[in-house]
Chains A and B, each alone.
Chain A
Amino acid sequence: MSTITESAASPATPEPSNFEKLDMRADKARVTLGSRVASVVAIVIAVLWTIPTLGLFITSFRPEADIKKSGWWTWFTNFNTTIDNYVEVLTGSRFELSTFFVNSIVITLPAVIIPITLALLAAYAFAWIDFKGRNILFVAVFALQVVPIQVTLIPLLTQYVKWGLAGSFWTVWLSHSIFALPLAIFLLHNFMKEIPRELVEAARVDGAGHVKIFFQVLMPLLVPAIASFAIFQFLWVWNDLLVALTFAGGDQNVAPLTVRVAELAGTRGQAWYLLSAGAFVSMVVPVIVFLALQRYFVRGLLAGSVKG
């Protein structure tokens, strides 16, 4: 709208090309976003965004009666603090919380490693090996991303029961791998494609085979992409309740932490005051993983997004 009126008002000035317009707008955006006002807005948003978490954090340290009767903000005028909620969360079950922690780790690590390993191999083939039907296959894999996992739950479970896998970790590992593969292949493929062809060709001229190229030329360059996908997958698997509940169930031999947290509130929800403490307990590991790997995360997020 504004561009039309502008160009109508000043027909004398030469029309800037589309590219120049875009560039000007981008420049304007850069200046606006970099200004102090933008920083203030960003800080305000960040504070607003953090308030619920802060409330949750304060709630987790308040006594049961206070939680049930008043909001967390009243804590500032009435400093009742207790660690009972954490004690209850950590020791209240008939199984130790450590059982669920171990289960969560046992579930998460293979569910991250399996899809990344497979996706790396597949992505390499899609990017650097010429075979018939490669593009069709790639599009098919890519298209699989649109399948919602909910529709696969019952058929998959039926299949696992037939194979006699039900109730074991394999069901969860396989399911998470299946659900992760399309995105993993797509992401890693795009990243691999960005690596200059000359690099791979030079290696080939020097007599390197696919194995050598894969491990010695590509792998070192792929670390950010692998790390960022590993974080994605780790957080998804660690926080997952649906897949774990459907395939592993509430059996303490295989149930992860999320299943335990979901049941903290008790049969009739009478112990819901424990949920805030439970949330922080289950949050610890993902936060550590994110902080440890975050420098890859920002770099890796851009992986495959822009070709340049």
Chain B
Amino acid sequence: MKSTMKRHHVVAIASSVTLALSLAACGSDTPEKPEGSGTGTGTASGDCAAYESYGDLSGKTVTVYTSIVAPEDQPHIDSYKPFEECTGASIKYEGSKEFETQLQVRLKAGNAPDIAYIPQPGLLKTIVGQFPDSIVEASAGTSANVDKYYAASWKGYGTVDGKFYAAPLGANVKSFVWYSPSMFADNGYEIPKTYDELIALSDKIVADHGAEGIKPWCAGIGSGEATGWPATDWLEDLVLREAGIDVYNKWITNEVKFNDPQIAAALGKVGAILKNDKYVNGGIGDVKSIATTEFQDGGLPILDGNCFMHRQASFYAANWPEGTDVSEEGDVFAFYFPGMTADSRPVLGGGEFVAAFADRPEVAAFQAYLSSPEWANAKAKATPAGGWVSANSGLDPENLVSPIDKLSFSLLSDTSQDFGFDASDLMPGNVGAGSFWTEMTSWIAENKSDTQVLDAIQASWK
């Protein structure tokens, strides 16, 4: 019922736009298109000034294909409304969890969607390599928006071989440690500001609560075929902190090898937490249980008071059971995974990218809209439950609802600090979505040694 009403609404608007246009065309022989569309749509939704450059797209349809499914898809669909109302175009949304496979099947069969949200730059590279005739370079409007509102590095992630294909869409911050504010307050614990403080806090928790079987850390790296990715995020976060952004970026291109001493040092630091039986795995089991615990469940022992800290991205907010208060004073919240010193706060993050597979004007306009501040703000407003943030500098933080999203945005928009894009997403598929995952899993599950793991990943890099 709800959806049919919405559809009628859109249809009504679309037809009223066409009607207004045709009336305007009948009234005067000189076609005044911009004015006609301005008055026709002005009544529909307040301010359409920002949308005038897209022109009149009534009767045009753009299909969007994404990996985002219910319930997270509704905010996306809602965020297209201002565009639909102002330009008259209609957007057809389709989400599938099988997106990564199905997109390639559809491209191969010539059944490409107009717009696709690519979750990893690595996949974008694959698609550009395999289907150079299907993918279309980003429209001029998109490119201009990205230059204006995004840091230069973000444009780089959407660029393959010097050609800019895909504009950044959403972003997430991975450098977070989830904790229970009330448990910290009850024990008089402070949020650590440096890595050393974090370790000191962990030791203090072991001293205070070790006897009760409560441990400082809990973790889970299980994720079906992708088991191991949360462990790769751990290593990435520590490479970023230990070795710095330059080494980090060289590590992505394999200029710095996996078995480089700097990477080994970072892995040693991860091991000091994840492979320390005193530290893990609060409320779940021993070190090995990390490998068998689904990442969705990895942080839940915090709610029972069996575990104090869980390092996971901002999107983990959606994994707390319904009714959990996610805020600074609430049941759970996250603090920034501290750097080596209080002043160095590098951020690890990821995001998805918008690629176009058709060069029709309405597709170009829609792609440009998705990279504009209008969209970012519309999306923020359409996401009442939170759990979404963008690196678009035109995004007004006031529109973000949840405290964790505000915190993420403040980290993302702090240009004085280094931002590292998820390394495993940028590495070649057989490493970033292959050996890196599996070797990190055996590092935990089979207690494989640091050097063996790093050598094995390096060996798989061809």
Q: Is A302 an interface residue (CB 8 A)?
A: no
CB proximity to A under 8 Å, residues B104-148: 105-106, 108-111
B303 to chain A, nearest CB (A): 8
Q: Mark A144-185, 1 if CB is under 8 A from B, else 0.
A: 000000000110011011100010000000000000000000
Residues in A whose Cβ lies below 8 Å from that of B297: 68-69
Most buried by A among B74, B77, B109: B109
Residues in B whose Cβ lies below 8 Å from that of A39: none
Known contacts being A65-B321, A69-B300, A270-B296, is A95 close to B71, with CB within 8 Å? no
Q: How far is the CA of A3 from the CA of B25 in the complex (A)?
A: 98
Q: How far is the CA of A266 from the CA of B109 in the complex (A)?
A: 27
Q: Is A55 an interface residue (CB 8 A)?
A: no
Q: How far is the CA of A270 from the CA of B316 in the complex (A)?
A: 9
Q: Is A80 an interface residue (CB 8 A)?
A: no
Closest A residue, CB atoms, query B224: A269
CB proximity to B under 8 Å, residues A57-102: 64-65, 68-69, 92-96
Query: Which stretch, B62-70, B158-166, B174-182, touches the partner chain A?
Result: B62-70
Residues in A whose Cβ lies below 8 Å from that of B98: 245, 262
Cross-chain contact A269 with B70 (CB below 8 angstroms): no
Residues in B whose Cβ lies below 8 Å from that of A94: 2-3, 70-71, 73-74, 77
CB proximity to A under 8 Å, residues B21-48: none
Q: Is B319 an interface residue (CB 8 A)?
A: yes
CB proximity to B under 8 Å, residues A263-285: 263, 265-272
Residues in B whose Cβ lies below 8 Å from that of A304: none
Q: Is B449 an interface residue (CB 8 A)?
A: no
CB proximity to A under 8 Å, residues B64-108: 67-74, 77, 92, 94-98, 102, 105-106, 108
Cross-chain contact B96 with A249 (CB below 8 angstroms): yes
Residues in B whose Cβ lies below 8 Å from that of A270: 296, 318-319
Q: Is A286 an interface residue (CB 8 A)?
A: no
Known contacts being A166-B111, A269-B223, is A263 close to B102, with CB within 8 Å? no
Cross-chain contact A251 with B94 (CB below 8 angstroms): yes
A–B pairs, 17, beta carbons within 8 Å: A64-B322, A94-B2, A154-B109, A157-B105, A161-B109, A161-B110, A246-B105, A250-B69, A259-B96, A263-B96, A266-B69, A266-B72, A267-B68, A267-B69, A267-B95, A269-B223, A272-B294
Closest B residue, CB atoms, query A84: B322
A259 to chain B, nearest CB (A): 8
Closest A residue, CB atoms, query B77: A94
Cross-chain contact B318 with A268 (CB below 8 angstroms): yes
Known: A69-B300, A263-B70. 12 other contacts (CB 8 A): A68-B321, A69-B304, A94-B70, A94-B74, A154-B109, A157-B111, A160-B111, A250-B94, A250-B96, A265-B97, A266-B70, A267-B69
Chain B interface size, under 10 / 10 to 19 / 20 to 34 / 35 or more: 35 or more
Closest B residue, CB atoms, query A265: B97
Cross-chain contact A263 with B95 (CB below 8 angstroms): yes
Q: How far is the CA of A225 from the CA of B223 in the complex (A)?
A: 44
CB proximity to A under 8 Å, residues B340-379: none
Cross-chain contact B102 with A262 (CB below 8 angstroms): no
Cross-chain contact B106 with A157 (CB below 8 angstroms): yes
Residues in B whose Cβ lies below 8 Å from that of A265: 97
Q: How far is the CA of A263 from the CA of B69 in the complex (A)?
A: 7
Chain A interface size, under 10 / 10 to 19 / 20 to 34 / 35 or more: 20 to 34
Residues in A whose Cβ lies below 8 Å from that of B106: 157, 249
Residues in A whose Cβ lies below 8 Å from that of B96: 245, 249-250, 259, 263
Known contacts being A68-B300, A269-B223, A269-B294, is A158 close to B94, with CB within 8 Å? no
Residues in A whose Cβ lies below 8 Å from that of B1: 96
Residues in B whose Cβ lies below 8 Å from that of A162: 110
Cross-chain contact A154 with B108 (CB below 8 angstroms): yes
Q: How far is the CA of A245 from the CA of B65 in the complex (A)?
A: 13
Cross-chain contact A268 with B321 (CB below 8 angstroms): no
Q: Is B315 an interface residue (CB 8 A)?
A: yes
Cross-chain contact A272 with B296 (CB below 8 angstroms): yes
Cross-chain contact B223 with A161 (CB below 8 angstroms): no
Cross-chain contact B3 with A154 (CB below 8 angstroms): no
Most buried by A among B296, B319, B322: B296
A150 to chain B, nearest CB (A): 11
Residues in B whose Cβ lies below 8 Å from that of A249: 94, 96, 102, 106
Residues in B whose Cβ lies below 8 Å from that of A267: 67-69, 72, 95, 97
